[in-house]
Structure 1
Amino acid sequence: MTTTTNTSWPTPVGVAALLDDVLHTDPAHPRPALRYLRRKPGRGLVAVYGDAREEMYTVTVDETAAAGHQAAAGHQAAAPGHEKATTGRVSAVSVTADPTYLADADGSVVHIDRLGVTIQRFPHDERLPGLEAAVHPVPGDPVWTALAAVLSADGSEEVELRAVSAVPLRYKPGDRCVLRYRLEGQGSAGGRVTGSVIGKLYRTVEQAHDATTLAERLWSLQGDRPWAPRPLGSVDPLPLVLTEDLGSASDTPPTVMGTEVVRMGAVSAHAAVEAAAAALADLHLGGTAQPETPQRTGAQEAVKAVNRAATIGRYVPELADRAAALGRAVGAALESSTPQGFRPSHGSYKPSQLLHRDGAVLLVDFDQFCLADPALDLGYFLAYLRPPGLWYHRAGTRAWFEDAAATFLTGYASAARARGMGQDELDGALRRSHVYEAALLLKIAARRPNRLHSARPGEVRALLEEVAACLDEGAAVDKASAGRQG
């Protein structure tokens, strides 16, 4: 197959065209659907096609190509007898010389050096070298041994692990992968024993050990109302961490993602928001941080806000001046913020990082755990609480958001006071939450062009209006507070 489209890196069309060339896509065997697309500074472009339960391919474009060196993505050079690719464990071959080599375990990676492109078939990942062993454990290896111990953990009988299936839940190529392991074994009494466990694979063993230590500390502080999964240890020498499986939507009672319940139209949305606020207060007042826990300061967040505003300006030039002005204003407000002290913080607290089960909230993904102004987590949640229809001024979205935001802040204030936070510290965190909310809205606005989606000027303009409104709200709260103190 010869692709005749002429375009430049990086574009979704160009990436898809190259994958078509490599896979020999035809109407009878269409290219897998695009699942993930993002470009990050220093990391280039990453696109993921397909489903790991069937077939999944990762296409990466290195930073040199993604930075605009205009390598043609027309791929006439990818026609038979032209462009050469180097495959893992396979000598140089024409990209389209063998229509089956990507399906072969010995040909799971293709390098096209001229274009700065690497194509890999899951679970092969050159930047995440433990992935294949984590996805396909075999009897006697460290992963299999650790999973067998989990299945026998209750001690009621000896259990022989007979079968393991690993289903990817979240995968960030070259970074990490979350897997659900389904386990099946036979007990010493002859009965069938089943179970499941969650595994999270990191790039390094140090990351895995740090994650395990934090998970154990969080678990030890929860008492009789758990709000984080129980840690089950790490799997040396792989950078793999095991935790309890908190369940899925098919279980009884069902466990669902926060985005399924903390949303406009959900019957129990406000109850879920209240529960999220109480769980956040538990974390902030839990004393879970250690001296080596990284800090996130207002000054650091200020730099991010200015950079995000610049990103918006590059992709939506007509809004560059407005974005830059708001970025400077947010940055100045963050730099001048003075919390009474830093609290243990999630660092990425939003509905998608929560699980809801039987009225309880469970927090996941503590990879951004830090010491920070409590306002960081508050602002994070508020920014991501907005329904997408708000950017298009759809009926009812504004009223729903304002009601839900008030529920969240009121619920947090009540829970934080009950757990011992002083009123002055609480009032300050609530005031500053609007500034952090503005900063995170800039992140949301800048994220779309980073993922190479359409810039959608109208949507970005609406987001910038929200940023300005948050700054106004913060200033109004500050003024009212100063008046009360005077």
Structure 2
Amino acid sequence: MNIADVVSGRAKLKGTRWVLLSATARKVLADQLRALLPSGAAVGPCRLREARFEPGRKITAYYDALVNTDKPERYHVRPIAVTWGSNTDADRHEETGDLAKVQAEAVRHGVAAPFLQLMADSPEWSMRVRVSPLDARFIQLARLSDPQHVRAILAEAHASGNAGSDRRRVSDYNYTITSIKYRPGKRHVLRYDPVDPAKGGTVFAKLYIGEDGARAFRREDGARAFRVAQGVADWLAGHGEGVNGLRPLAYVAEDAVVLYPQVCGVPLSDYARCPNRVVARWLQQAGAALCTLHHLPVALAGRPEPHDFAAEIRSIVGKSHHIPVLLPQLESAIEALFDRAGELHERLPQEPPTFTHGDLKTEHMWVAAGGLTVMDFDSSRLADPALDVGYFLADWQFRHAAYDQAGVDETYKSFLAGYAAAAPKERLIRARLYEAVELVKCAVRRMPLFEQNWASCTAGLVGRAEAVINDLQRTLGLPARPLLVHP
């Protein structure tokens, strides 16, 4: 198999799966990692967590690699990012220079070990390997992975947030640091667990771009996210009944990081496997909680510019370039679906935009004894509130892809019973339209590319989206159309 054919898309789905899953490609990756470690170090299995394909440009995969420099039972997990694709010599030279500085910073903080180097290139495979905490855009990642620096910022956060906190005592705590999400150039989340649980709770650190050359808007991302999360938590504390916003502990400007406490409870997504009678109660509360969120002051929205239906479709299309290459039979079906959705949207009554969450997956609502806690407001914006309703319903379908549609419909009733009491009928009709396009979003962005049944599951979600639009057309007294894809 030729790497150039894989990256260009000429090798189709078979080529993509070969570079991600074949024994040959796995051996090359293990050899690259072994070359970065001390002599005698062992490299265990690399667990593939996520993969992205941009035809003609690159394939990017994120792994948790097991490495060991001591005994077999002492393997440690280290996140890595691997990219196959071409870039120019000038780009490669500039990137290597920037990364060398970040690597030196990681060594200085003692967070590179056991790796001797944090980057490797294999020209033969057009392959670049990057090891956490290496990232030229998030230059603060190395120091935020340093236990000594973590103790200092957490002591400051506790002292500023609690007048009774003893900063000197907190600064003596030791923390275990785990990378939850390592996505170079995009996003990072770290977890800080106290070595002695009696001395404090777990803290999560969400990083924002910290490079000096970042655009002013991006440099403000962290401060903006903190203000929104804090504002939402304050408002819900006074107006929410049975719903809370996750309140951040602090924003550390010099590190461009927002610190959050651990949430008690379980994500609503875990209830997808529960009997209907168990999940119905929480889905109804989720609907009521979302209705409350849509009454938040519009000034709290993180992005003040309105996001309309056409913009949502454009954003999905922009992330779907791999579909015509890997599943060409779906390309025309998705185009036809978006055309139908646009035509229907123009027929429907509209309403002024409200505060919206913008990324309301069931994993962003947590169930606890005191009610629901909503988190991750980074995508909050002014938009049609039907967007949140539709995405929530699409996410629930995505998590029930292997279940029969009748069971999903029953859970819909519970959610809408909680939401619809204070919502206009026209909004719920538009929500079905958003549900259809968000099902396509789930299909093209969230189905793991490396799964054996990726093609059939992706087609199944697109088929469900078609069925939603047909159902909506019948509701509006319009003729339905034959399904191009059968779920």
User: Could you say which TM-score interval applies, normalised by the shorter chain?
Assistant: 0.7 to 0.9
Residue 61 of structure 1 is matched in structure 2 by: 83
Report the Cα distance in structure 1 between the residues aligned to 2:245 and 2:456, rounded to whole angstroms: 39
Residue 329 of structure 1 is matched in structure 2 by: 340
Report the Cα offset of residue 27 of structure 1: 12
The alignment status of 1:383 with 2:381, answered yes or no, reads no
Equivalent residue of 1:30, what SS?
strand
Report the Cα distance in structure 2 between the residues aligned to 1:338 and 1:44, rounded to whole angstroms: 42
Report the Cα offset of residue 122 of structure 1: 1.8
Q: Is the 8 A contact 1:316 1:455 kept in 2?
A: no
Report the Cα distance in structure 1 between the residues aligned to 2:469 and 2:180, rounded to whole angstroms: 37
Q: Is the 8 A contact 1:86 1:110 kept in 2?
A: no
> TM-score, normalised to structure 1's length?
0.75
**Measured at CA, do residues 196 and 308 of structure 1 come closer, stay the same or move farther in structure 2, by a change above 3 Å?**
closer
Residue 413 of structure 2 is matched in structure 1 by: 406
Report the Cα offset of residue 42 of structure 1: 9.8
Report the Cα distance in structure 2 between the residues aligned to 1:35 and 1:444, rounded to whole angstroms: 17
Residue 237 of structure 2 is matched in structure 1 by: 223
Report the Cα offset of residue 276 of structure 1: 1.4
Equivalent residue of 1:349, what SS?
coil
Report the Cα offset of residue 428 of structure 1: 1.3
The alignment status of 1:427 with 2:425, answered yes or no, reads yes
Q: Is the 8 A contact 2:81 2:131 kept in 1?
A: no
Instruction: Give the letter for the 1:411 counterpart.
Output: G
Residue 72 of structure 1 is matched in structure 2 by: none
The alignment status of 1:243 with 2:260, answered yes or no, reads yes
Residue 164 of structure 1 is matched in structure 2 by: 175
Q: Is the 8 A contact 1:151 1:183 kept in 2?
A: no
Instruction: Give the letter for the 1:407 counterpart.
Output: S
Report the Cα distance in structure 1 between the residues aligned to 2:322 and 2:380, rounded to whole angstroms: 26
Residue 131 of structure 2 is matched in structure 1 by: 121
Q: How many residues align?
A: 419
Report the Cα distance in structure 2 between the residues aligned to 1:278 and 1:43, rounded to whole angstroms: 44
Report the Cα distance in structure 1 between the residues aligned to 2:438 and 2:41, rounded to whole angstroms: 42
Residue 30 of structure 1 is matched in structure 2 by: 44
2:290 to 273, 280, 287: 280
Report the Cα distance in structure 2 between the residues aligned to 1:60 and 1:218, rounded to whole angstroms: 37
Q: Is the 8 A contact 2:60 2:81 kept in 1?
A: yes
Residue 299 of structure 2 is matched in structure 1 by: 289
Q: Is the 8 A contact 2:298 2:382 kept in 1?
A: no
**Measured at CA, do residues 340 and 453 of structure 1 come closer, stay the same or move farther in structure 2, by a change above 3 Å?**
same
**Measured at CA, do residues 265 and 171 of structure 1 come closer, stay the same or move farther in structure 2, by a change above 3 Å?**
farther
Report the Cα distance in structure 1 between the residues aligned to 2:187 and 2:398, rounded to whole angstroms: 28
**Measured at CA, do residues 29 and 133 of structure 1 come closer, stay the same or move farther in structure 2, by a change above 3 Å?**
closer
2:117 to 107, 131, 134: 107
Q: Is the 8 A contact 2:207 2:258 kept in 1?
A: yes
1:373 to 361, 370, 384: 384
Residue 233 of structure 1 is matched in structure 2 by: 250
Instruction: Give runs of aligned pairs for residues 150-161 of structure 1, distance below 5 A.
Output: 150-152=157-159, 153-156=161-164, 158-159=166-167, 160=169, 161=171
Instruction: Give runs of aligned pairs for residues 69-88 of structure 1, distance below 5 A.
Output: none
Q: Is the 8 A contact 2:447 2:454 kept in 1?
A: no
1:459 to 457, 460, 473: 457
**Measured at CA, do residues 457 and 238 of structure 1 come closer, stay the same or move farther in structure 2, by a change above 3 Å?**
closer
Instruction: Give the letter for the 1:235 counterpart.
Output: V
**Measured at CA, do residues 193 and 455 of structure 1 come closer, stay the same or move farther in structure 2, by a change above 3 Å?**
closer
Instruction: Give the letter for the 2:166 counterpart.
Output: E
Report the RMSD for the aligned CA atoms in angstroms. Answer: 3.6
Report the Cα offset of residue 23 of structure 1: 2.8
Instruction: Give the letter for the 2:53 counterpart.
Output: R
Q: Is the 8 A contact 2:391 2:435 kept in 1?
A: yes
Residue 14 of structure 2 is matched in structure 1 by: none
Equivalent residue of 1:365, what SS?
coil
Q: Is the 8 A contact 1:379 1:436 kept in 2?
A: yes
CA offsets, 1:242-271, max 9 Å, x none? Answer: 123223xxxxxxx11222114454762112
Residue 269 of structure 1 is matched in structure 2 by: 279
Report the Cα offset of residue 184 of structure 1: 6.7
Report the Cα distance in structure 2 between the residues aligned to 1:265 and 1:185, rounded to whole angstroms: 37
**Measured at CA, do residues 403 and 257 of structure 1 come closer, stay the same or move farther in structure 2, by a change above 3 Å?**
same
Report the Cα offset of residue 468 of structure 1: 1.7
Name which of structure 1's ranges 204-213 and 455-464 shifts more when overlaid on structure 2. 455-464
**Measured at CA, do residues 241 and 328 of structure 1 come closer, stay the same or move farther in structure 2, by a change above 3 Å?**
same
Q: Which structure shows the higher helix fraction?
A: 2
Report the Cα distance in structure 1 between the residues aligned to 2:412 and 2:378, rounded to whole angstroms: 25
Report the Cα offset of residue 335 of structure 1: 5.3
CA offsets, 1:317-341, max 9 Å, x none? Answer: 3344333322321233345555211
**Measured at CA, do residues 222 and 27 of structure 1 come closer, stay the same or move farther in structure 2, by a change above 3 Å?**
same
2:62 to 33, 48, 61: 48
Name which of structure 1's ranges 219-228 and 328-337 shifts more when overlaid on structure 2. 328-337
Structure 2 unpaired stretches of 5+: 8-18, 67-74, 89-95, 102-111, 211-218, 479-487
Report the Cα distance in structure 2 between the residues aligned to 1:457 and 1:275, rounded to whole angstroms: 35
Q: Is the 8 A contact 1:376 1:433 kept in 2?
A: yes
Instruction: Give the letter for the 2:227 counterpart.
Output: T
Q: Is the 8 A contact 1:375 1:432 kept in 2?
A: yes
State the identity as a percent.
24
Q: Is the 8 A contact 1:36 1:48 kept in 2?
A: yes
Q: Is the 8 A contact 1:134 1:201 kept in 2?
A: no
**Measured at CA, do residues 150 and 457 of structure 1 come closer, stay the same or move farther in structure 2, by a change above 3 Å?**
closer
**Measured at CA, do residues 167 and 461 of structure 1 come closer, stay the same or move farther in structure 2, by a change above 3 Å?**
closer
Residue 470 of structure 2 is matched in structure 1 by: 472
**Measured at CA, do residues 118 and 461 of structure 1 come closer, stay the same or move farther in structure 2, by a change above 3 Å?**
closer
Report the Cα offset of residue 429 of structure 1: 1.0
Q: Is the 8 A contact 2:178 2:192 kept in 1?
A: yes
The alignment status of 1:193 with 2:203, answered yes or no, reads no
Report the Cα offset of residue 435 of structure 1: 0.7
Instruction: Give the letter for the 1:470 counterpart.
Output: V
Report the Cα offset of residue 457 of structure 1: 4.4
Report the Cα distance in structure 1 between the residues aligned to 2:28 and 2:342, rounded to whole angstroms: 41
Residue 210 of structure 1 is matched in structure 2 by: 224
Structure 1 unpaired stretches of 5+: 67-84, 91-101, 187-191, 248-254, 481-486
Residue 93 of structure 1 is matched in structure 2 by: none
Q: Is the 8 A contact 2:280 2:414 kept in 1?
A: yes
Equivalent residue of 2:80, what SS?
strand
